[in-house]
Amino acid sequence: MSNVASPSTLQHAIPSYLPADNLGPWGIYLQQVDRVTPYLGSLARWVETLKRPKRALIVDVPIQMDDGRIAHFEGYRVQHNTSRGPGKGGVRFHQDVTLSEVMALSAWMSVKNAAVNVPYGGAKGGIRVDPRKLSSGELERLTRRYTSEIGIIIGPNKDIPAPDVNTNAQIMAWMMDTYSMNEGATATGVVTGKPIALGGSLGRREATGRGVFVVGSEAARNLGIDVKGARVVVQGFGNVGSVAAKLFHDAGAKVIAVQDHKGIVFNGSGLDVDALIKHVDHNGSVAGFAAETVSADDFWALDCEFLIPAALEGQITAKNAPHIKAKIVVEGANGPTTPEADDILRDRNILVCPDVIANAGGVTVSYFEWVQDFSSFFWTEDEINQRLVRIMQDAFRAIWQVAQDNKVTLRTAAFIIACTRILQARQERGLYP
């Protein structure tokens, strides 16, 4: 008997570098793809394309520390799919970053970019490091060395990094400069989220939080909920959470609770969001702000209209989902809800606005920045915000309609639209050679 595997076995074999147990972020992503496959029609023959990254680069990042030691850090850049355009996705600096996580985040970027119909594929990067333990000089050297190591696969027409967890405009400036020096010419379009002086876009810092607000407001309108007077609970108070909280507050909503990495603040009548933002800018955390507090368990069970998880992935789980009392969950973070929790919230008629649309404001304005860099013609902040709102509203309304037509969740509807666009592009391009 022959030991040679059949063609079908070879076709669907799990690559050795992928997690075989389907646990963690990559496993969550695969479950999401499996759920949408029955809705893809003839394009389902290409679905395996979505279940493995196009390219995954692991790099050693050695730098000299301030005390003279040579330290080595592990870095990644994953390009999940580039059928619709160059890779696009952030770079995170975090001590718990893994290849599996970065692969999942790159895949979600493929879906997110297709869901809002910007002409990008999906990519993501990261370094296993706690940046808070590095000096400014060490952080710069780490960033520049990492950029040089991944420089072989990034570029304005190949893969465009952006800020993510623990990275910011200064990190992007160092990345742009390093890439440009290596290329021998200034290439502002190699990254987005840059300082304005280096070709950055107005409105970029606030874009993800603004998108959360736009999507949340659209969802509320469809459910007959008035944003004015609505209660909002926010987990995470960085760029996304703080901007979303501020916009909801300015629209007349009451932000009653905020949680970050150091504490929880609560006021049933509504927190002073402007004062809280100033407190966090000065102290680095919501902890110590003049307000009440609640336990972590009670935080998730607060009565509210909007719950906005805007921190890390895997925050809403089978443990806390049964106790959530929000009418609408708007995912400001990437992958904050596990599939088990998703099912629980669906069965409890709690509307989940998924990350692939809810937090797509950032990549949408990154797209605007990239376009402006190529044209060397820059738009006003009002123009940027108006275009962002239009794209986010159009994308959400299309997803809502698909969800209604197919009687599926908004997440599945977003995946139906996005995966159809990705696989249609793949099919029309064909295979080369």
Same domain, 73 and 45: yes
pLDDT at residue 201, rounded to an integer: 97
Same domain, 128 and 226: no
Last residue of a domain, one of 185, 216, 243: 185
Phi-psi category of 356—alpha, beta or left, where left has phi over 0 and alpha has psi -120 to 50? alpha
Task: For residue 105, give the CATH number of its domain.
Answer: 3.40.50.10860
End-to-end CA distance of the chain: 33
Which residues, including other chains, have CB under 8 Å from residue 89's CB and lie 6 or more apart? 105, 106, 109, 122, 123, 124, 125, 161, 162, 164, 363
Report the DSSP beta bridge partners of residue 94.
128
**Residue 254 falls inside a structural domain:** yes
Active site residue 327: no
- What digits encode the pLDDT tens for the residues 312-365? 888 999 999 999 999 999 999 988 998 899 999 999 999 999 999 999 999 999
pTM metric for this prediction: 0.92
Last residue of a domain, one of 338, 359, 380: 359
Task: For residue 243, give the CATH number of its domain.
Answer: 3.40.50.720
Domain count, the chain: 2
| 1-5, 25-29, 93-97, range with the lowest pLDDT | 1-5
Same domain, 164 and 225: no
**Residue 384 falls inside a structural domain:** no
**Residue 311 falls inside a structural domain:** yes
The CA-based dihedral angle spanning residues 153, 159, 164, 169, taken in that order and rounded to the nearest 10 degrees: 100
Same domain, 121 and 213: no
- What digits encode the pLDDT tens for the residues 367-379? 999 999 999 999 9
**Residue 379 falls inside a structural domain:** no
**Residue 16 falls inside a structural domain:** no
pLDDT at residue 177, rounded to an integer: 99
Same domain, 221 and 268: yes
Same domain, 264 and 127: no
Q: Tell whether 208 is in a known binding site.
A: yes
Q: Tell whether 168 is in a known binding site.
A: no
Same domain, 210 and 325: yes
Question: Which residues constitute the domain of residue 179?
Answer: 41-185
pLDDT at residue 18, rounded to an integer: 72
Same domain, 57 and 151: yes
Residue 231, amino acid: R
Q: Tell whether 334 is in a known binding site.
A: no
**Residue 350 falls inside a structural domain:** yes
Q: Tell whether 194 is in a known binding site.
A: no
pLDDT at residue 16, rounded to an integer: 78
**How is residue 3 written in tokens?**
């030991």
Sheet with 87-94, edge to edge strand ranges: 55-64, 70-81, 122-128, 87-94, 159-163
Last residue of a domain, one of 185, 215, 233: 185
Sheet with 254-259, edge to edge strand ranges: 264-266, 254-259, 231-235, 303-309, 325-330, 351-353
**Residue 33 falls inside a structural domain:** no
Same domain, 119 and 233: no
Q: Residues of the chain with pLDDT > 70: what percent? A: 96
Same domain, 250 and 352: yes
Which among 51, 124, 194, 262 is annotated as catalytic?
A: 124
pLDDT at residue 9, rounded to an integer: 47
Say which residue, 11 or 343, is predicted with more confidence.
343
**Residue 190 falls inside a structural domain:** no
Same domain, 285 and 335: yes
CA dist., res. 360 & res. 215, Å (int): 10
Same domain, 283 and 181: no
- What digits encode the pLDDT tens for the residues 369-414? 999 999 999 999 999 999 999 999 999 999 999 999 999 999 999 9
Pairing relationship of beta strands 55-64 and 70-81 according to DSSP bridges: antiparallel
pLDDT at residue 395, rounded to an integer: 98
**How is residue 266 written in tokens?**
């609560």
